[in-house]
Amino acid sequence: MPLSDTECRNAKPGAKSVKLFDGGGLYLEVSPAGGKLWRLKYRFAGKEKRLALGAYPEVPLAGRKDADNGKRIRGARDLRDDAKRLLAEGLDPGQQKRQEKLRRVAAAADSFDALAREWLQRQTVWTADYRDLTLRRFERDVFPWIGPRPISDIKPFELLAVLKRIEERGAVETAHRAFQMVGKVFRYAVGAGRAERDITTDIRGQLRPWKKEHHAAITNTDGVGELLRAIDGYAGSVIVVAALRLAALLFVRPGELRRAEWVEIDLDAAEWRIPAAKMKMRRAHLVPLSTQSVAALRELQPLTGHRRYVFPGERSPLRPMSENTVNAALRRLGFDGDQMTGHGFRAMARTLLAENGWNPEVIERQLAHKAAGAMGEAYDRTQFLPERRRMMQAWADYLDVLRQRRKVIAGDFGRTAA
């Protein structure tokens, strides 16, 4: 006699498993612990087998409509009938269930979400902070729409719709950055043999044009702190790490930094005197060195102090490091060209120094910019030198504060020229 829902609901556990049969091989098995599982007994190729159909009451006896959304909830009898149809076609329902589970597992492993997370974990030269930031961008702007989809099933027009949604809220730069990151995930999937091609090539040029700054720079305090921590965690050459740290501390032009020579630097006097021939304006320049800058240079001196250049090239130590070295290191750390460049350290310092009350003329002189009018003609490398020394030390101390995620107290860093 067929079961009723009341019998299923009121079934009590015993010392051993209790089986309540419904018909057609379907029965409810009540374990001694009280769990209730639907099972189907059937024969295939002359052998008796069992198929698990789910737990009661999540899987009801008979199918019904969900009171909340109106969708049909399939019952144990529906699942039994499905299995009987497979048997009629000469297929083993148990084997079909296992294959379907494998397909779901494979699809989940090759979903855009899974591949993006896998790709992120492989960015070992990135800091944990930057990986987390990139993941949050994916979770906010991309995963909700295409995350669960197998990457090979995603169509160009679907991806474009995701990017357009970002663009429509006015975040054009973010849309372009998402486009770049999605493309990297697709190329990773192609290389891993889990996607046929990078579909971002089909929608290139479809986003609203975004004109990036010539020299991208990070100018907010949280971003600067993240950048400094990323530099500290850089897994590359010690010489490159020193170049990155000094680029932040000294904010000279990239060409001036990479061509620095030990003969120009007086660590005891804490000064770097750059000859006019190396300067953009062809005027000699003096860079006061903070205690942090001197420490970084002393740490580097045993490695390169016997050579001409402070930052010798990797291939030829008789030449300065490549002009692309610092930018390439920033890329490896996860900072795209539209976020930060070697030249961007100058804009970073200029912005934050000005925001903290330092005299613009002092800042411009330290940047070796030509002043307007008579001041420009009267340029002298020692102009504002006492104040510049104070500013460079205060700047180095300020970077230490941002690196350590400490709050800057108003007035601690801001100064005006004497």
Annotated catalytic sites, by residue?
253, 280, 343, 346, 369, 379
3-class SS string, the chain: CCCCHHHHHHCCCCCCCEEEEEECCEEEEECCCCCEEEEEEEEECCEEEEEEEEECCCCCCCCEECCCCCCEECCHHHHHHHHHHHHHCCCCHHHHHHHHHHHHHHHHHCEHHHHHHHHHHCCCCCCHHHHHHHHHHHHHHCHHHHCCCEHHHCCHHHHHHHHHHHHHCCCHHHHHHHHHHHHHHHHHHHHCCCCCCCHHHHHCCCCCCCCCCCCCCCCCHHHHHHHHHHHHCCCCCHHHHHHHHHHHHHCCCHHHHHCCEHHHEECCCCEEEECHHHCCCCCCEEEECCHHHHHHHHHHHHHHCCCCECCECCCCCCCECCCCHHHHHHHHCCCCCCCCCCCHHHHHHHHHHHHCCCCHHHHHHHCCCCCCHHHHHCCCCCCCHHHHHHHHHHHHHHHHHHHCCCCCCCCCCCCCCC
